[in-house]
Copies of this chain bind each other. A is one copy, B any other.
Amino acid sequence: VPETLDRIEPRTHQPAGDLLLREIREQPAVIRRHLAQNDELRAVAARLRRKPPTMVRLVGHGSSDNAASLGIYAFGLLPGWTALRDSMSLSIYYGAELDFRGSCVIALSQSGRTQDVVEYVALARQRGAFTIAVTNDVSSELASAAEAVVPLCAGREEAVAATKTYTAELTALLLLAAGAADQEARIAGELSEVAGLAELTLEALATRLAEVATSLEFLARMFIVARGPEFATAREIALKLIETCRIGAEPLTATSFAHGPIAAVDELFPVWAVTACDPSLPAIKAAVDRALAAQAVVIASGPALAALPRDAGIIELPTPVPPRPLLGPLLSVLPGQLVAWATAHAKGFDPDRPHRLDKVTLAP
């Protein structure tokens, strides 16, 4: 009987926050496990390569949907395919009669039990899509509904807030896109390098957490700004801060930020800028300049901090330069996860079991 990954027994003897921190630290190993053992993934990628889809429809909720944001860039930049975060509601709840022939569906769900994801996959498959379930539970309902299954190889995730399964989803999407583009060996080599960099990053950031958590402890709201592959990171950091620290953190592309939200920024409305050494940098730099001009506290993370103005108002959370910008999100999410963990502690919340959330969301 395969292990059921999401039936969580409360471990009352464990100090609060230990599960989340342990899972954050497992992420380099999760990337390596993916590279070592995911033959199913390679078989699915080979099939995509043989028969390219007209479009890749990505679906998932929460962190899985955030990972899908990177999928758009992975498929767009590696095989040059159009990928979209598809609307499940349109087909499931509103009964749109879309033509799925020629489409590939990639459904991301840690538990494999999210009901509308399962329904969407069944419908898309019936209408002619090639359907792939990417899940931590290969015996789940989602895995049965889809034509192909890619295991997440993340091991049981016990904290309610996803961390290592998010990393596993990013890795799976990158490897699927790489395989589709016949670039698997190169990207796998780079991912292996990223696993090593992630270990160093986790270590290096540990000493910075207390200071940052103190700065965030009394904040109610925040914008998190990024562009390109790192928009997935902005979304995921915002979700971690919302669910574990109850901070009203909203992810914005650099362009959206300039198109309205900049009006709301002030001394008590900080901006977190996710930098990258890539074509997003001028826009991120402009966002930081505008936030500083509005007297906002700026948190800047990522590998391009040297490009930002020297300003005592910037809290810096550096991460290393990835082998290519597309792989950056595997590193740049780490400061967000660690800061969320540390800030939850500073606020007296249990980072493992956020207020009002269950590991598997069964809401309509």
Binding site for B on A (CB under 8 A): 54-55, 61-62, 65, 72-73, 76-77, 80-82, 84, 86-87, 89-91, 93-94, 96-99, 103, 116, 220-221, 223, 227-229, 239, 242-244, 246-248, 250, 253-256, 258-264, 266, 268-269, 278-280, 282-283, 286, 290, 294, 354-357, 361, 363-364
Contact = CB atoms under 8 A, between A and B. Distances in A.
A162 to B, nearest CB: 10
A232 to B, nearest CB: 12
A96 B116 contact: no
Nearest to A294: B356
Contact of A94 (B77, B84, B261): B77
Each complex incorporates copies of this chain amounting to 2
Nearest to A246: B264
Contact of A363 (B72, B96, B283, B363): B283
A354 B255 CA distance: 17
Contacts of A354: 260, 263
B93 A258 contact: no
A89 B357 contact: no
A67 to B, nearest CB: 13
A218 B77 CA distance: 45
A97 B223 CA distance: 31
A90 B97 CA distance: 28
- Nearest 6 A-B pairs (CB), nearest first? A258-B363, A62-B259, A76-B96, A221-B248, A93-B279, A246-B264
B242 A260 contact: yes
Contacts of A286: 363-364
B90 A280 contact: no
Contacts of A262: 356-357
Contacts of A263: 242-244, 246, 354-357
A207 to B, nearest CB: 28
A205 to B, nearest CB: 23
A349 to B, nearest CB: 9
Contacts of A62: 256, 259-260
A116 B248 CA distance: 29
A318 B243 CA distance: 31
